[in-house]
Structure 1
Amino acid sequence: MSTSPAPKDEALVRLADVTKRFGDGPAALDAVSGEVKGGAITGLVGPDGAGKTTLIRLMTGLMMPDSGTVDVLGFNTQKNPAAIQASIGYMPQRFGLYEDLSVQENLDLYADLRDLPKAERSSAFEELLTFTDLKRFTTRLAGKLSGGMKQKLGLACALLKKPRLLLLDEPGVGVDPISRRDLWKMVENLTQEGIGVLWSTAYLDEAEACDHVLLLNQGKLLFSGKPHDLTGRVEDRVFKVSGITGRRRQVLAELLQTKGVIDGVIQGDAIRLVTGKDETPDIGGAAGEAKLAPTPARFEDAFIDMLGGGPGGRSKLAEAQAPPSEMGDRPVIEAHGLTKRFGDFTAADKITFDISRGEIFGLLGPNGAGKSTTFKMLCGLLKPTEGEGRVAGFDLRKDAAVARNQLGYMAQKFSLYGDLTVMQNLEFFAGVYGLRGARQRERIELMTDIFDFGRHARHSAKDLPLGLKQRLALACAVMHEPRALFLDEPTSGVDPITRREFWTHINALVEKGVTVLVTTHFMDEAEYCDRISLIYRGRSIALGSPDELKARVATKEQPDPTMEDAFIALVQESETEEEAA
């Protein structure tokens, strides 16, 4: 795929004091300045609501700034948007694939829309299908593709006219680690051909892979520069606490209340801490004989530091939670040979595991692997073809309604009622879970106080910022003090402070005896799990703690693999075994 190379120092996009408002609220973008250069990947980084999509739309000329200037490929967006749109590739966050058309039919349609000459189409399609590894799937309907394959098709459509500048709006959202790594390799190859790439993302680990970063939060530009320049600010202030005795979640909560600690997360059997400037935490009281050692800083560590630190380790939600009654030695969640077939296709094949009281259990797997099918069978949303699932001892086939009252469910996509207010959602879900009268009023008042809903009680749920939507969804899921929480990618897109707050509540609830089943594409969140089942092609291919799974793939060349490394290596190992069988 050839295009006119652009030197790395050539600015393809110039932003000067760009401001954009919608209505009377705070500016969506507030005097943002920066550049996107050719032959490089520029990361536009920040949580949902930071202003990333607004800035990209301004670059495309689909929207105009209220003040400031946006110049793209030498054209001013206000004076010549058509010239810009003819010269760039643009992949929106919700890419407009036609799901009832095949891969090839989508390429044909976008070739027509982009006015690609007929004589050039055959070679362009061949090159793009090879580049994205979609050649085998040209007749498959786009709606039948996995999330990663849809993103690859979207990328192919955006590249039909060989742009000098490629704008990608969150291409990695909801995509498994393998597909994300594939997308990164493709985009890195494009920069070798001189294409300038803007990669928008809420995943802070992706920021570290960029050549340059524009870091946004609440419409303001917090940082512009090389990722390691920001990470270097906390380089000597990040530590790993290992050799912990006792429950690491309880130790983390205590460490987060320790003077000098501004952030902390669980990392397998260890805990990762970030300290304030010139601070060395005294971990003796909380972690006993555990060892404190420096560890490499990450981009997220520096972002948390810029935001003033995390939310601490206290959970008012867990403090108000009554411990679930004992069930003896019986697991709270049970899957025995769970199988689901759709026609000739087996989505989940004999999935078996037990989850004990006060345990976090993770379901991980690539897009389309079967983890969501397994998840839905266990929370009573999908009837299994074979096998048995139980929650709190209740059979999901025979006692589905009773079983569902023992669990709280937080969906991947915001599943509350957008046209209802915050208070109406709380009242509705309290009623669904059987709360009445004084008990209902008491629980709603408690949730309103804990999550600070008072100022937003009459706001429609659909108009809330993502962080508040997530708090509302969690409040509704725990309203009835369930024995088990089912969390389906619960923190996708939210800012790191809200993610920390969320896991502070979950960790503390687990300490009270609540059982958690979670799916996630954030590999650092997988570290919070006590055990993980890795699902691939409908089967469980690995089961163990995060550290056990990482140790299983460790080599001399890679003695300390990350959770993402383990995920990819175990899937590749399973593929090799299948091919040999």
Structure 2
Amino acid sequence: MSSVAIALKGLTKQFQGMSQAAIAPLDLNIEAGYVTGLIGPDGAGKTTLLRLIAGLLIPTEGSLSVAGFDPVTQLESLHAQLGYMPQKFALYSALSVQENLDLYADLRDVDLAGWPKMRSRLLQFTDLERFTKRAAGNLSGGMKQKLGLACTLVGQPQVLLLDEPGVGVDPISRRELWKMVHELAGDGMLIIWSTSYLDEAEQCQQVLLMNEGKLLYQGSPSQLTQTMQGRSLLIDGGKQPRQRLQQVLQQSQVRDAVLQGKQIRTLIDSPDKRLDLAQALSLNEQQLQPTQARFEDAFIDKLGGQENRHSALADILPQIPDDHSHAIEAINLTRRFGDFVATDNVNFAVKRGEIFGLLGPNGAGKSTTFRMMCGLLPVSSGEARVLGMDLKHSPGKIRSRLGYMAQKFSLYGNLTLEQNLQFFSGAYGLHGNLQRQRIDEMVETFQFESILRQTPDALPLGFKQRLALACALMHQPDILFLDEPTSGVDPLTRREFWLHINGMVEKGVTVMVTTHFMDEAEYCDRIGLVYRGKLIALAPPDDLKAKVMHDDEHDLTMEEAFIRLIETQQEDT
């Protein structure tokens, strides 16, 4: 194993004006030869720790050694050995793939004589050789992350810090990124991969689980998962899985519960509570089947279990009557950009009170389809119908009944939370007492009271996303469009969001959602899978998994099903 290592002794970081330390005293060693996963909820201290290691922050107390260098006193020497890819990596959109690489080589003073050979190796390693002349702004999300990784590897660093590199990237591209990173680790590089995707954490040989600046666990994911044996169950969801989920969450024996297709994946306090839970739910024991524990179960348990069990948001929304009509319809929907067909004759219909998921790899056309359905892109041909009206003819009337939450945080970072709520409620036509009432309801529901005068830019991602959801629902819309609503948030925050979404759907709200987080797709009533502009599959999650499940398999993750469906389509075309 390589001698490259990171050593922390009593490392502490306290930001001015904050009562709680961002990093409590940490003592740990991290070695090369494998990928170390850095995990934890919003505000756990993950990014702060990475920035300390990279020398971008100065510790309040304690010492830190990275590849033999002190980041405070030997920063220049350290930077020659370290690659850091932050969450918002600075690719230059107008520059081509090759020009971005050349720029980073210049910034890192790479030897000009050897650079062409190194650049060629990086392009080959990241499979970007065919795209050297393409502008970075025109790359798919997965290709942008590959280019970001290539730029970070310029200069052949010994230490690689990756802060949420899988956010916004489809499962196939994420798998390719992991393959590359494992290869680098095998060559002796020290790699820390910060992530909110716990299926990614399971691929690490070692994980660091943090919360509120403290280290809760250091070791292999499998060791922690083994402590959960006998506590994970699959409960029959019956005819109304969302309602049964709410019943399960109210039981004292339950630590965590989420939808998994038509079943409810449940974590109980101890194996001997299974019979008690069956009796509490008036189910027979056969309707509660033990299932293999996942690392996510251990993560949730280590953080104290699911905290929010009831949607206060659903309580303030009115009941929308079900007239059994289609809320959303795509009829031969097509969008062209010049000669390129991004969406090609797509057809689907979404019933009122349904959660419809639109999935697909980066660049497949799902975002284009999604943006046409909510009126953000004009339709080239075909129809996008919402509440029975064609978006071409009645855009203003339709938009007044829609809520939209963008993939990238789209609120105003220089306005306070209160000012954002005022602005967006006014934009939706709310004024006077009604506007004040709706703002007060959202402040109470999302517990914004203590941060109303802060700007979103100063808050963790989870709070930003709560604010975005509150603004999208200010006018109590019939239909909610969610574009990657939980991208980058931790599993606990993700559960809170889906608790609200499930509660809204029970009130009759129709939801259309895009996501790259495949476990989240399990919450949808039906999924439309888009590939190369066409709708290649349309079915409930369990049916899609059954379609590609092998005879000797009893269970399959939605992520594996997604990859198999895409690979099958690639083989057929």
TM range (shorter): over 0.9
CA distance change for structure 1 residues 444 and 89 in 2, over 3 Å: closer, same or farther? closer
How high is the TM-score relative to the length of structure 1? 0.94
Which letter does structure 2 place at the counterpart of 1:491?
Answer: T
Counterpart of 1:402 in structure 2: which amino acid?
Answer: K
Q: Find the counterpart in structure 2 of residue 3 from structure 1.
A: none
- Asked whether the equivalents of residues 255 and 283 of structure 1 are also in contact (C-alpha less than 8 Å), the reply is no
Alpha-carbon spacing, 1:557–1:126, altered in 2? closer, same or farther (3 Å): farther
User: CA separation in 2, counterparts of 1:428 and 1:576?
Assistant: 50
SS of the aligned residue for 2:247 comes to: helix
Q: Distance in 2 between matches of 1:462 and 1:90?
A: 22
With over 3 angstroms needed to count, the CA separation of the structure-2 counterparts of 1:164 and 1:34, relative to structure 1, is same
What's the CA shift for 1:127?
2.0
The 3-state SS of whatever aligns with 1:279 is helix
Over the residues paired in the alignment, what is the CA RMSD in angstroms?
Answer: 1.8
Q: Is the 8 A contact 1:430 1:440 kept in 2?
A: yes
Alignment partner of 2:426: what SS? helix
Which one-letter code corresponds to 2:473 in the other structure? V
Counterpart contact for 2:251–2:280, Cα < 8 Å: no
Residue equivalent to 1:513: 508
What amino acid maps onto 1:227 in structure 2? P
Describe the SS at the equivalent of 1:76: coil
Preserved contact between residue 32 and residue 220 of structure 1 (Cα < 8 Å): yes
Q: Equivalent residues in 2 for 1:76-475 (5 A)?
A: 76-242=70-236, 244-277=237-270, 279-280=273-274, 281-286=276-281, 288=283, 291-326=287-322, 328-475=323-470
Flag structure 1 segments of 5+ consecutive residues without an equivalent. 1-5
Q: 2:14 matched to 1:21?
A: yes
Alpha-carbon contact 2:196-2:491 (below 8 Å) kept: no
Q: Structure 2: how far apart are the matches of 1:425 and 1:159? A: 39
- Which structure 2 residues correspond to residues 503-542 of structure 1 after superposition, within 5 A? 503-542=498-537
Instruction: Spell out, residue by residue over 1:35-70, the C-alpha distance to the aligned partner (whole angstroms, 9 max, x if none).
Output: 221111111112343222222222122322111111
Structure 1 position 462, deviation (Å)? 2.9
CA spacing shift, 1:155–1:200, aligned 2, 3 Å: same
Give the C-alpha shift of residue 79 in structure 1: 2.4
- After superposition, the C-alpha distances for 1:150-172 in whole angstroms (9 at most, x for unaligned) are 11112222223323222222211
Measured in 1, the distance between the counterparts of 2:438 and 2:91 equals 43
Q: What secondary structure is seen at the aligned counterpart in 2 of 1:425?
A: helix
What's 2:49 paired with?
Answer: 55
Q: Is the 8 A contact 1:254 1:313 kept in 2?
A: no
**Number of residue pairs matched?**
569
Q: TM-score scaled to structure 2, two decimals? A: 0.95
The residue that corresponds to 1:31 in the other structure is 25
Cα distance in 1 between the residues matched to 2:423 and 2:500? 23
Deviation at 1:90, TM superposition (A): 2.5
Distance 1:151 1:367 in 2: 11
Question: 1:540 & 1:359 partners in 2: Cα distance?
Answer: 19
Contact 1:18 1:67 (8 Å CA) reproduced: yes
Query: Structure 1 residues 160 and 558, CA, compared in 2 at 3 Å: closer, same or farther?
Result: farther
Shift of 1:351: 1.6
Residue identity in the other structure for 1:100: A
Change in Cα spacing, 1:284 to 1:481, as seen in structure 2 (3 Å) is farther
Asked if the contact 2:46/2:194 (under 8 Å) is kept, the reply is yes
In structure 1, how many angstroms separate the alpha carbons of the residues matched to 2:402 and 2:280? Answer: 35
Distance 1:120 1:556, change over 3 A: farther
AA matched with 1:395: D
Q: Displacement, 1:11?
A: 5.6
Overall identity of the aligned pairs, in % = 55
SS in structure 2 at match of 1:271: strand
Matches of 1:109 and 1:480, distance apart in 2: 47
Work out whether residues 4 and 190 of structure 2, in 8 Å CA contact, stay in contact via their aligned partners in 1.
no
Aligned partner letter, 2:306: G
Selected match of 2:34 from 40, 44, 57: 40
Q: Could you tell me how far apart the structure 2 residues matched to 1:458 and 1:113 are?
A: 39
Contact 2:331 2:383 survives alignment (8 Å): yes
Q: Matched residues in 2 for 1:367 and 1:417: separation?
A: 27
For residue 425 of structure 1, report the CA deviation from its aligned partner: 2.2
Change in 2 beyond 3 A, CA 1:133/1:252? same
CA distance in 2 between counterparts of 1:317 and 1:112 reads 52
Question: Structure 2 CA distance, aligned partners of 1:517 and 1:486?
Answer: 5
Deviation at 1:520, TM superposition (A): 0.8
Contact 2:41/2:492 (8 A) holds in 1: no
CA distance in 2, matches of 1:149, 1:365: 15
The whole-number CA distance in structure 1 between the counterparts of 2:432 and 2:154 is: 61
CA contact (8 A) 2:4 2:189 kept: no
Q: Deviation at 1:220? A: 2.0
Note if contact 1:362-1:517 (Cα within 8 Å) is conserved in structure 2: yes
Which structure 2 residue ranges, 5 or more long, are not aligned? none
Give the direction of change, closer, same or farther, for the CA distance of 1:398–1:286 in structure 2 (3 Å limit). Answer: farther
Alignment partners' CA distance in 2, 1:341 and 1:471: 34
The code of the aligned residue for 1:128 comes to: L
